[in-house]
Structure 1
Amino acid sequence: MPCGGGDIGLNVWSENGDVLFYAARSGTFDENNSLLKLGRVRLRLTPNPFEPGSSFTQTLNLQTGDVTLTGAKGPLKAQVHIWVDVFRPVVHVEVSSNQKLSAEARYESWRHQDRVLKGKENNQNSYKWAPQGEVRTRHDSIAFRSGTVEFVHQNRPVTVFDVTVRQQGLEAVKSQLFNPLQNLVFGGVLTGENMQSAGTTEGEYQRTPFRAYALRSHSAARSHSLTLALHTSHTPSLPQWQQELQQTLRAAQHNPKAARQQTLTWWRSFWQRSFIHVQPGKSAPNSAEWQAGRNYQLMRYLLGCNALSQWPTKFNGGLFTYDPALTDSTLKFTPDFRNWGGGTHTAQNQRLVYWPLLKSGDVALMQPQFDFYLRILRNAELRSQTYWNHPGACFTEQLENFGLPNPAEYNWKRPAEFDKGLEYNAWLEYEWDTVLEFCLMMLDAQQYAAQDVRPYLRFIESCLTFFDQHYQQLARQRGAKSLDGEGHLVLYPGSGAETYKMAYNSTATISGLRTVLTRLLALPPQVGTAEQRRTWTALLGRIPDISFRETDGHKMLAPAKSWERVNNVESPQLYPVFPWGLYGIGKPDLETARNTYRYDPDVQKFRSHIGWKQHNIFAARLGLTDEAAALTVQKLQDSGRRFPAFWGPGYDWAPDHNWGGAGMIGLQEMLLQTHERKIYLLPAWPKSWDVHFKLHAPYQTTVECTVKDGKVQNLKVTPESRRADVAVLLQ
């Protein structure tokens, strides 16, 4: 069961009479760019109200963001309450009982010694299937200090950053590159009120050996409290890190009641911002549509646990991965494992985690993803300057947290003459347009929540400049002209997601460039200088038109003007529908987009609800109610795991956050869509489903609506002046 807040995530459970939790925090990248967990805590009470045969409940309270475990055996009753401080990196464990109990808390680490990673286990880091020599997860330093357990991982001077820079021929600019792994130190301290150190023991859990460092209560009592304080910083000095950790611990212990109230206030505000309750008066756990509504809320909670982080929520498990053998019984790896890397960000997947935060009113939660790109902007620009001697930021698809391509995907076995700026990879070559979706998110954050877009203008412009400069340069290398006969860019070679490769004028790329430029020009006149606007206007004029094709007399959006091969199972011919919004409800030529969904042979073949598949979103945006409902329910139905929103692994890992994100987006789009100032309500909603929801729309607007028995029974639009822009489309 997940529990978290701020940028900390816990997996909480009870087993054989013990209460356990894993602790994870954003940004804990080791030398190999694995996203390491911060350990496992085990709590044992004596006499034990949780031992087998006792009465037991475990509850995740979404409204307050905490987990409570309650046990009773005979007259003995006890409760363990676990919560995370939203504003400080601190976990609180509070034990209360009707009889005096003794408590033992163990900090358990599988990193008490070095571990050599072999085979698929390297998929948790940036080396993946192409390690260069032996790869080790280095041991942590763990020790008892004054009745506490202190644990720390300090990155060694040489990391995968250095290996990647050398591989990709960037040594000349290395000193200018942002390096998040350098001098990174992270860990924490476990301490208990009225507790003392009680030695170490060895054990094994889920096939992984560990060492436990125990704290034991001085005496039995009716209440006990534990504190797990965490700290991450960039410092070459371990004593300095320890001093900062103690400051965090003192702050946590100063006034925990006030901290609890602050946390409760934050979660209350979070849940008041938005919600979707499907079949609210007909709570039925076996109902597929009820599950969809409940699991939407659970997925939003998982995202809320990383609200105040410096780093984005990872698509491949976020903060809530667990022992890999419970996802794939063949994997004898540690809880640090996740497929597709820890510091590697797959942009096509990351975007699905962040798109739903606009309509849920959680624009503030998008800040870590935006900051991620701002930090690595200079690195992406240095790539363009070094390889091609032109301006603009080049962001590849499998992107390290330091802004360079993943070294395994970049490929060590490259032809000597191959362009050093390209990934030598059949799936990823020439795929660099996903960053435009994050440009649009930045513009949408301004439109939805009045967030100042000016800090992002240089980033957006640099991304656009890359396409303009790079494709004109490629055209000049092929011939005498930099544009085609109509004065348009020739976007070749390009890519339609990872699927349509060596594409000429990819529809997804054209749609992205056109939408971002159009939105830039629609910004208030005080944003951007006259010269900037002339530049944007000129570039918009150089964007080519989308291509079409026909099947059995049906006009459809084509993936590109032409392509050489199909390499994956995505449907980028529908990206003009989502995310780019060029086609949809209330927009021209809706039938062409619907034809694409219904008749395109690849769309038909690739249609699914698994993982990052987006067909539920496409169907909702096209007003195809039955298809949208069926696919979204499949997306958001119970996962089959003990926690219903731990989907996956899909194409990635469990819990699959881009699976959940795509489900959230689909449900939102069934309820509310917008075009310019128009708000379309219930454009793809089944009349037989009751719903009560509150969602956000552009221009700082919220819409709260109740549908019961096929009729809108209550509609509240804030501000009221926007009510005239609302059109109810429930059929």
Structure 2
Amino acid sequence: MLRLSLPLLATLLAVGTSSVPFVSSQAEELPATAWHDGALRTDPAGLVSRSDLVQKGPAWRAYQAMPLGNGVLGAAVWAEKGYTAQLNRVDTFPELKSAGRLVVPGLQPLMRAADYTGRLAMYDGQVVQHGGGMSARSYVRADADQFVLEVTGADPGTTQTADLKLWEGRTPTAAATGAVAALAETFRDAASGSLTGAVAAMTARARDVSASVIDPLTVRITFRPNADGSFRLVVGVPSYQGGDVAKAARRAVAESRSEHLDWWHAFWAKAAPLRITSADGTGEYVETLRTLQLYTMAASMRSPVPSTHGGVVRMFSSAKDQADWAQDSYWHFNLRMLISSNLGAGIGEFNAPYFRFYLDRAELMKKWTHDHWIGAQGTCLPEFLRYDGTGDGCDNMSEPGWVKRILSSGPELVNNIWWQYRYTGDRALLDRAYPLIRDIAEFHLTALTPGEDGYLHLEHVNALEVQWDTDDPAPDLAAMRVIFPIVADLAAARGDSELAARLRTAVGKLPPFRTVQRGGEEVIAWSGTDEEAHNTQNPEMEVLWPWGLFDESSELMQATYRQRVYPQDKDWGMDTTWAARLGLADEVKRLLLKGIEDFQIFPNGFTVHRTGREPVRQQSFYNEWGGVLTTGLQEALVQSYDDVVDVAPAWPREWDVAGSVEIEGGHRISTEVRDGVVSLVGIEAGSRESLQVRNPWAGQEVRVVDSRGRTLVGPSTDEVITVPVLANHSYVVERVAVPLSSFEHVPLTGQAATEVKTVGSRMLGVPASEPPVLSDLVTVRTPDKLSNLVKAQPGAEIYVDRSYTITDLPASLTGEAMVPGSNDDSKRTGPADYITLDLTAPATVYVAFDPRGENDWWPTWLNDYTRTGETVGTTDQRLLLFARDVPAGQLALGANSAVEGKGNSSYITFITPR
């Protein structure tokens, strides 16, 4: 069966949030639609701007950073030290180390202005900020590997600096010639011998520009703004494998005519629009997350390799070189939701890095299979594949493990290639991929073992990461049922009748899905055996998505969903899509909102891997939840995986929606749903085909008209109607009682967001907050992570890596400068200069210590301080206060503990004038 696995989004809108009745009369306002002259008429600029991330105050913390990128070069922008942007390339393997941080102190007046405003303006691919008569516009050029900062309103007479810096452990080459400063570094991979690297070169379009090397990890540009108060910083970050750094730097900052805005505007004009409105704001919040997902794909997926590693999108990192998981490798399981979401959103071209990655390594994977899987023919595609083509997965010569012997990844690649072809018509991809498709099918044929029961069994393999060394995993049985017929047809068309025959024979000999009792109901089992669980996936639900072998009419599948063992346990869970395919609209909404609460802890829309995490403690931005959410929305609005186009089969009644989504065949389906009622269905056909469309108004008369108003089908009350379509023609499925002619045409648009969006405890955007203290008395020389002074007051956060806050403190300390602690260093021992302060005048230094360390792990340097008898209350622990009068100059404070392996909460420090 050829299934149209269709992610699809809605279309026709009435602008505004009020509910408009569909049945019109002369006394009533006409219902509105954006469908006009054969297409959904939209204003992409207005519609996308609804989802801008608003900054009511600057993003002072790194976890609040806003993402920018061109698919190869990424940046995270926040307000630390006036202005900070971390730059990351997608290809500096094996560890994807950052190219450095740009710091511009001269933007402090803008950030600290009372009238500050900012936003991530996704339609333009820019971060835009205003305040104090200044403006800053940041972007990564869509057409060049350059980060650009454009500033207006600066004082023309004040000299400015801009630093590019790296951190301890890095070994760059620092260079400064004329007006260009650069840091360059290469990385040799010991395993493969490959050489990667980047040069970060900086210059300014301003007056009196000069470059200098500050230290081995820092270079600086010094300049004066232009006479009109403007200046422009350009940081070029091309790939670099060694050679003349100065020459590479000059090339890196050379500018051509920018087509940045044209590229982004063209992207949004092509992407399928979607607008959601609701009384409680949850619909708008979900809409923003979906828009962010499209933006993230455009900003991160344009290189020869995918940008996501284990769900982490490293190119937007603000966390120096830290990242979860192995950044030199890819888990297929964490990529698949991005593929489906892109197809439904009409941006399938951003799946190209995924396909290139595997196709470019086809021969390496085939050799690995030959060397590591006894008796294999063809290619096993490993679940875990390193960038150099080596994989830890396809191996039956060693003990099973997390990713060893997961065989369903290869069939998923085949299915995704087929989807891509069906959605986009990309015959070149299908032709290039056929040898790998053939080899994956060949491997699975040879991996099957005939059983005494007459079936072909898959033995000693994994059911995803859940069961190890099991038989007949549900995902694998489903995968072979789906791809064997597809590959057989492809093989036959290419003259390989022998392979086609073997595949068709094998399909008929695959065993049925095993069932078990769970929660008092009969459900599909994970596999043919009962091995213990190692991870929290639901292998049995894979038969519904991605494989589409059941639908909402299956009571077995409904029960299997109800009794799944791990309901949406991680950000990778496709529960919303499963609920959508089962027609469970309330579940779709519940799961989306629960996922937001569980995973979306960052105000830039990125997520974490599992529940119970705090943003200040997490340093990796995950983006797989965006693909999960987008795919779920699309499947809730339109489905076609079972050969029937079904509009709004699981759309939450409380969310009004208007928009479009692509389905297989390259067709764009548009609709509007208000109060649970579909207005009409618009079809922009991408190919010649007969579409089966379910009547969205059961029992009512419908008809199909073309763009000239001619009736092609109906009137009919049939449950499913056949719509013959031609490429580049458009059609409307309408109710006879409420035809398109009774609608008022209103384009799909919107107003730019002006507020931070919230759902429960989660937010999108940055609220106003207390800025770091600028003190004339004290600065923190080291460590860098504690260098932002905090105003001591109730509610102030006491640690840079925890969310604990002050509840009460002595009046003498209120409003003074506080050096926050790092609770990750609570057991740190060692150097006496853990913190180094520079004091411009005599001061009193207070340290607040955890009383649990007295006579146990308190450090000896604390003996130089006098117990005051006062305490500082925090949401973590009440701390004892010690004081010391010190002269101007440099002061060192030691580590938190004197005993290896011991230590509770870290100390915090206050400084007052004396």
Q: How would you bin the TM-score normalised by the shorter chain?
A: 0.7 to 0.9
When normalised by structure 1's length, the TM-score is 0.78
Number of the residue aligned with 2:120: 60
Specify the alignment match of 1:177 in structure 2.
none
The one-letter code sitting in structure 1 at the alignment partner of 2:79 is S
* Distance (Å, rounded) in 1 between the aligned partners of 2:336 and 2:541: 16
Task: State how far apart, in whole Å, the 1-side matches of 2:177 and 2:601 are.
Answer: 39
1:275 is matched with 273
Q: Decide which of 388, 391, 402 is 1:405's aligned counterpart.
A: 391
What stretches of structure 2 of length at least 5 have no aligned partner? 1-65, 612-617, 699-914
* Residue segments in structure 1 that go unaligned for 5+ positions in a row: 116-137, 163-180, 203-209, 325-334, 411-418, 473-481
Distance 1:428 1:641 in 2: 28
Relative contact order (C-alpha < 8 Å, sep 6+): which is higher? 2
Structure 2 residue corresponding to 1:19, chosen from 46, 69, 83 = 83
Contact 1:39 1:107 in 2 (8 A): no
State which of 69, 80, 90 in structure 2 corresponds to 1:4: 69
Displacement of 1:189 in angstroms is 1.3
Aligned to 2:878: none
Q: 1:613 aligns with which of 567, 573, 580?
A: 573
Q: Cα distance, 1:508 vs. partner? A: 0.7
* Residues 186-230 of structure 1: CA deviation (Å, up to 9, x unaligned): 22311212353354557xxxxxxx943211214553211111112
Please say if residues 492 and 500 of structure 2, whose CA atoms lie closer than 8 Å, have aligned partners that are also in contact. no
Q: 1:249 to 1:51 in 2, by over 3 A?
A: closer
Question: Residue 275 and residue 730 in structure 1: after superposition, are their counterparts in 2 closer, same or farther (change >3 A)?
Answer: farther
What's the counterpart of residue 546 of structure 1?
Answer: 513
1:160 offset after TM fit, Å?
A: 3.8
Question: Which residue of structure 1 lines up, in the alignment, with residue 378 of structure 2?
Answer: 392
Q: What CA distance in whole angstroms lies between the structure 2 residues aligned with 1:462 and 1:616?
A: 33
* Deviates further, 565-574 or 628-637: 628-637
Residue among 143, 159, 177 paired with 1:145 = 177
DSSP-derived class of the 1:37 partner: coil
Corresponding residue SS for 1:161: coil
CA distance, structure 2, for counterparts of residue 485 and residue 682 of structure 1 = 46
Corresponding position: 1:725 with 2:692 = yes
Q: Partners in 1 of 2:149 and 2:572 — Cα distance? A: 36
| Aligned-partner Cα distance in 2 for 1:533–1:244 | 53
Q: Which of 653, 656, 665 is matched with 2:622 structurally?
A: 656
Letter in 2 for 1:695: V
Q: Distance in 1 between matches of 2:181 and 2:362?
A: 39
**SS at 2:102's partner residue?**
strand
User: Which residue of 2 is the match for residue 182 of structure 1?
Assistant: 194
Secondary structure of the residue aligned to 1:561 is: coil
Change (3 A) 1:420 1:513: closer
What residue is the counterpart of 2:681 in the other structure?
715
297, 303, 307: which one aligns with 1:313: 307
User: Given the alignment, which residue of 180, 188, 192 partners 2:204?
Assistant: 192
- In 2: Cα distance, 1:103 partner to 1:674 partner: 62
SS, match of residue 45 in structure 1: helix
CA distance in 2, matches of 1:640, 1:549: 35
Pairs within 5 Å for 1:175-324: 182-194=194-206, 196-201=209-214, 211-218=217-224, 220-221=226-227, 222-232=229-239, 238-239=243-244, 246-247=250-251, 249-250=253-254, 253-256=255-258, 259-269=259-269, 272-279=270-277, 287-314=281-308, 315-324=310-319
Q: What is the distance in 1 between the residues matched to 2:161 and 2:514?
A: 63
2:639 — aligned with what? 673
Provide closer, same or farther for how the CA distance between residues 6 and 356 of structure 1 changes in structure 2, counting only shifts above 3 A.
Answer: same
How far is the alpha carbon of 1:8 from its aligned partner?
2.2
Residue 517 of structure 1 corresponds to which residue in structure 2?
Answer: 484
**1:133 maps to which residue?**
none
Scaled by the length of structure 2, what TM-score is found?
0.63
Task: Return the offset for 1:729.
Answer: 4.9
Match of 1:79 in 2: 135
Confirm or deny: 8 A CA contact 2:129 2:135 kept in the other structure: yes
Query: Percent of counterpart pairs with the same letter?
Result: 18
Do residues 382 (structure 1) and 334 (structure 2) align? no
Counterpart-to-counterpart distance in 2, 1:35 and 1:83: 21
Distance 1:291 1:722 in 2: 36
Separation (CA, whole Å) in 2 of partners of 1:41 and 1:423: 47
Q: Deviations over 1:118-148 (max 9, x none)?
A: xxxxxxxxxxxxxxxxxxxx52222213321
Q: How does 1:452-463 map to 2 (within 5 A)?
A: 452=427, 453-463=430-440
Q: What is the DSSP-based 3-state SS (H/G/I as helix, E as strand, rest coil) of the residue aligned with 2:230?
A: strand
The 8 Å contact of residues 175 and 182 in structure 2, kept in 1 or not, is answered as: yes
Distance of aligned partners of 1:67 and 1:724 in 2 relative to their CA distance in 1, 3 Å threshold: same
Which entry has the higher C-alpha Rg, 1 or 2?
Answer: 2
Q: Say whether the 8 Å CA contact 2:201–2:252 is kept in structure 1.
A: no
Q: Report 1:61-140 matches (<5 A).
A: 61-72=121-132, 77-97=133-153, 100=156, 102=158, 104-111=160-167, 115=169, 139-140=171-172
Alignment check: 8 A CA contact 1:65 1:267 kept: no
Cα distance, 1:539 vs structure 2 = 4.1
Code of the residue aligned with 1:213 in structure 2: it is V
Spell out, residue by residue over 1:334-393, the C-alpha distance to the aligned partner (whole angstroms, 9 max, x if none).
x21111111121221122232211111121100101111112221221122223364222
DSSP-derived class of the 2:109 partner: coil
Distance change (3 Å), C-alpha of 1:381 and 1:687: same
> How far 1:41 sits from its partner (Å)?
0.8
- Checking the alignment, whether the CA contact within 8 Å between 2:202 and 2:235 is kept in structure 1 is yes
Matches within 5 A, 1:470-485: 471-472=447-448, 482-485=449-452
1:28 shift after superposition: 1.4
Alignment partner, residue 361 of structure 1: 346
Partner Cα separation in structure 2 for residue 730 and residue 316 of structure 1 = 40
> Are the equivalent residues in 2 in contact too, given 1:717–1:723 (CA < 8 A)?
no
Cα distance in structure 1, aligned partners of 2:598 and 2:470: 38
Which of 420, 424, 427 does residue 402 from structure 2 map onto? 427
- Equivalent pair of 2:588/2:652 in contact (CA under 8 Å): no
2:109 to 30, 49, 52: 49
Is the contact made by 1:58 and 1:67 (CA closer than 8 Å) also made in structure 2? yes
Q: 2:529 aligned to 558, 562, 565, which one? A: 562
* 1:488 Cα deviation from its structure 2 partner: 3.6
When the two chains are superposed, the root-mean-square deviation of aligned CA atoms in Å is 3.0
Residues 314, 621 of structure 2: 8 Å contact kept: no
Q: Is the 8 A contact 1:508 1:576 kept in 2?
A: yes
Q: Distance in 2 between matches of 1:306 and 1:643?
A: 19
Question: 2:510 matched to 1:508?
Answer: no
Alpha-carbon spacing, 1:622–1:640, altered in 2? closer, same or farther (3 Å): closer
CA positional deviation for 1:152: 1.9
Cα distance in 2 for partners of 1:727, 1:317 equals 39
Q: Are 1:5 and 1:305, in contact at CA under 8 Å, matched by a contact in 2?
A: yes
Q: Which moved more, 1:391-400 or 1:302-311?
A: 391-400
| Equivalent residue for 1:682, pick from 639, 645, 648 | 648
How does 1:314-353 map onto structure 2 within 5 Å? 314=308, 315-324=310-319, 335-353=320-338
Distance 2:290 2:159 in 1: 37
Deviations 1:146-177 (A, max 9, x none): 32122222223xx2424xxxxxxxxxxxxxxx
Alpha-carbon contact 2:656-2:674 (below 8 Å) kept: yes
Letter in 2 for 1:88: A
Once residues 562 and 231 of structure 1 are traced to their aligned partners in structure 2, the CA distance between those partners, rounded to angstroms, is 52
CA distance 1:402–1:535, change in 2 (3 Å): farther
Pick which of 508-517 and 648-657 moved more.
Answer: 648-657
Cα shift at 1:323: 4.9
